[in-house]
Amino acid sequence: MFIAPDQIINNFDIRPGQVVADFGSGSGHYVMAAARKMNGDGVVYAIDIQKNLLESVKSAAEKNHLGNVEIIWADVEGKEGVKLASGSVDLVIISNLLFQLTDKEAAAKEAHRVLKDGGKAAVIDWTKMMTGGGVVFPKQEAEKLFLQQGFAEEKEFEAGDNHYGIIFKK
C-alpha cells in the first residue's frame, strides 16, 4: 500500500507559523503537503543539491499559489551545509534520502543543529526498494544514527508497505 505525503504528514503535528525544512526535498511532495497544511502561515524550506529538482519545486509552489515555500540549494552532508541558522527549525523532514547519502552522520548532525530544542525530525525511508535491486538504510540503523546524535525516538508511524517512518525529538 502506498500512502501519500498529504496523509503521512498528519503524523508530524505541523501547525501554521512553524518552520519546516525538507532535507533532500527532491520533487517536493512533502514540501507541498507541509505548505498546504500550514495554510500559508510559516515557511517550508525545500533543500536539495540538485538544482533542476529545486526549480521544479519552485514552479509547483508558484503554480499552486504556495507563497510559504523557500528554495535552498545546499548539501545536507556538509558542515553547516544547509545554510539555516542553528536552532531555527521546528521540523526536519528526511524522506527517501538516507539510503542515498555517503555521510549519513553528517546529515543527522545537520538536522540536530538546525532544529530548535524540542524540534522534531521525521524520517521516512525504504524497507525494500520497489525495483528490487537498490540498497536500503534499515530502520534499526536509522534509529541508531539519530540516537547517537542526541535525538530521542518519539514514535514510529505507518508509512506504507515499502517504507518505515520514525519521529525523533531533539
φ and ψ at residue 26, rounded to 5 degrees: 55, -130
- Angle formed at CA 147 by CA 140 and CA 115, multiple of 5 degrees: 125
Of all residues in the chain, what percent carry a pLDDT higher than 90?
78
pLDDT, one tens digit per residue, over 95-118 is 999 888 889 999 999 999 999 999
pLDDT, one tens digit per residue, over 40-64 is 899 999 999 999 999 999 999 999 9
Question: Which cell is 150 given?
Answer: 542526541
Could you give all domains of the chain from N- to C-terminal order, each with its CATH number?
5-169 (3.40.50.150)
What pLDDT score was predicted for residue 132?
59
DSSP-derived secondary structure letter, 9: G
- Flag whether pLDDT at 72 surpasses 80: yes
Cα 63 vs. chain centroid, distance in angstroms?
A: 22
What pLDDT score was predicted for residue 92?
98
What pLDDT score was predicted for residue 147?
97
Nearest to 12 by CA among 29, 39, 37: 37
CA distance 151 to 109: 10
Mean pLDDT of the chain, nearest integer:
92
pLDDT, one tens digit per residue, over 115-169 is 999 999 999 998 876 555 566 888 999 999 999 999 999 999 999 888 999 999 9
Question: Which cell is 106 given?
Answer: 553528517
What pLDDT score was predicted for residue 101?
87
What pLDDT score was predicted for residue 7?
92
